[in-house]
Amino acid sequence: MDRMRVLNGHIRSEDVTDDGSSPLQIAPTLATPGYEGFQHAQTMASFPPAAHDVFRFDDLLTQEERDIRYRTRAFMEKEVAPVIADYWEHAAFPFELVPRMAKLNLGGATIKGYGCPGQSVLGTAMAVIEIARVDASMSTFIMVHNSLAMLTIGLLASEEQKRELLPDMASLKKIGAWGLTEPSNGSDASALQSTARKVEGGWVLNGRKRWIGNATFADIIVIWARSSETKQVNAFIVRKGMKGLRTSKIENKIALRCVQNADIFLDDCFVPDSARLPGVNSFKDTNKVLAISRIMVAWQPVGICAGVFDMCVRYVGEREQFGAPLGSFQLVQEKLARMLGNIQAMFLMCWRLSKLYEEGKMTHELASKTKAWTTLRGRETVALGRELLGGNGIVADFLVAKAFGDMEAIYTYEGTYEVNALVAGRGITGKAAFKAAPSRQPKYVQA
């Protein structure tokens, strides 16, 4: 019974185990050490060595950025890779890993002070790709917490709010979520419908949010809602357990299955005046946060594809057919070459984008262009990897199937491929093409 509640994301693992073991006591799978079902190639439980960095991109990083990269890689390969496929299979969040992840000192990422590490954008990106290389759900978890929830507070909260909220979030004692999207407003987020009515001493929030990552268990949720006074979009801190706040986990996803995405119901949820973020006065203020978080999302496919490539290189060396390792065949080698080319190009584009941001020269159009392009190439790369593993390409234990599903979510969130391509297109032509042309009577429909 308790196990089922953990699997459903209703309680934390520490509530049911006190011996430090995984709460998932499930039947053995291929990824379980000692399982004898398939002996011809190793699963992700023992993670493959990195084979993807052929252009020596480490030379583009500072020593600190390299340290972040290799510290994160070691943690992910050793502590996350052996267990994460089971969590993904059961759509459960690995709470047991959070205190261990906190030791990497990644909480708050680019924010300076308040217990945060104040990393460079590139250092933060190195952590993102190394996490995503093993598991995209974990990278999404930390990005929602860092690059959306914490960054909104870091950039747009009052000094008092920052001092109160950021230190516990930096140490991952408190987890954040970020609620912008609504059932009726996904791509068209600026027209959001949730309302904030001013009352004495505070605000009353009403509305619905959809897809909000971490929201089933988050301690702090940033909610975007339209002020009844100004009709402009404002942002509010809503805390776990507040009256009028309800969350419901979105089930049956085929991507990022460990991430607990939720529908949020706000029914006359009262928050005090102190919960309003004073730096948010219109929807445009979301851009201050999304500028950095979109860079990080653009990096995510680099990490996902690097993991897939590394797994494929090992797999085609181990698995034999027709009397030879798969890697001996020309068609297999062409796929590997195409995947590797994509990864190198994606890395360079994201690296340049990050540098432009740090130099104050990045535009939103460039960030959107990069995010759209890396997710497009990422989708192609994981699909090639999925082909290379044959039947095992649809089994999460070999990483590639998990990554294949996860790429789908990244193609869609933080602006879909299409909407980001339209932002890039506006940058190229100077013409916005988001609104539909006026309707006409369909030509080919019979009366």
Ligand X SMILES: Cc1cc2nc3c(=O)[nH]c(=O)nc-3n(C[C@H](O)[C@H](O)[C@H](O)COP(=O)(O)OP(=O)(O)OC[C@H]3O[C@@H](n4cnc5c(N)ncnc54)[C@H](O)[C@@H]3O)c2cc1C
Smallest separation, CB 356 to ligand X (Å)? 24
Minimum CB distance to ligand X smaller for 186 or for 244: 186
Contact 302, 347 (CB under 8 A): yes
> From the list 179, 207, 303, 385, which residue makes contact with ligand X (rule: CB under 6 A)?
179
HSE of 16, CA atoms in CB hemisphere, 13 A: 18
> From the list 75, 87, 211, 299, which residue makes contact with ligand X (rule: CB under 6 A)?
211
For residue 204, how many other CB atoms are within 10 A of its CB? 18
Amino acid sitting at position 4: M
Minimum CB distance to ligand X smaller for 129 or for 177: 177
d(CA 250, CA 263): 7
- 283 lines the binding site for ligand X (CB under 6 A): no
Which tokens is 272 given?
Answer: 């005090």
- 299 lines the binding site for ligand X (CB under 6 A): no
> From the list 81, 91, 125, 144, which residue makes contact with ligand X (rule: CB under 6 A)?
144
Of the candidate spans 87-95, 178-186, 321-329, 341-349, the one that interacts with ligand X by CB under 6 A turns out to be 178-186
Of the candidate spans 115-123, 233-241, 303-311, 409-417, the one that interacts with ligand X by CB under 6 A turns out to be 409-417
Q: Tell me if residue 235 falls in helix, strand or coil.
A: strand
- 181 lines the binding site for ligand X (CB under 6 A): yes
Q: Rounded to 5 degrees, what angle do the CA atoms 127, 133, 134 make?
A: 105
Amino acid sitting at position 121: V
Of the candidate spans 56-64, 93-101, 192-200, 211-219, the one that interacts with ligand X by CB under 6 A turns out to be 211-219
Taking only Cα atoms into account, the Rg of the chain, rounded to an integer number of angstroms, comes to: 22
Q: Please state at what angle helix 364-388 crosses helix 400-412, rounded to 10 degrees.
A: 160
Minimum CB distance to ligand X smaller for 179 or for 378: 179
d(CA 212, CA 176): 10
> From the list 62, 268, 333, 434, which residue makes contact with ligand X (rule: CB under 6 A)?
434
- 404 lines the binding site for ligand X (CB under 6 A): no
Continuous segment of H or E residues that includes residue 198: strand 195-199
**Nearest residue to ligand X on Cβ basis:** 186
Of the candidate spans 162-170, 190-198, 397-405, 415-423, the one that interacts with ligand X by CB under 6 A turns out to be 415-423
* 289-307 per-residue burial string, b: 16 or more CB within 10 A, e: under 16: bbbbbbbbbbbbbbbbbbb
> From the list 42, 261, 300, 375, which residue makes contact with ligand X (rule: CB under 6 A)?
261
Smallest separation, CB 382 to ligand X (Å)? 16
Give the interface with ligand X as residue ranges (CB under 6 A).
144, 178-181, 186-187, 211-213, 256, 261, 409, 412-416, 418-419, 422, 434
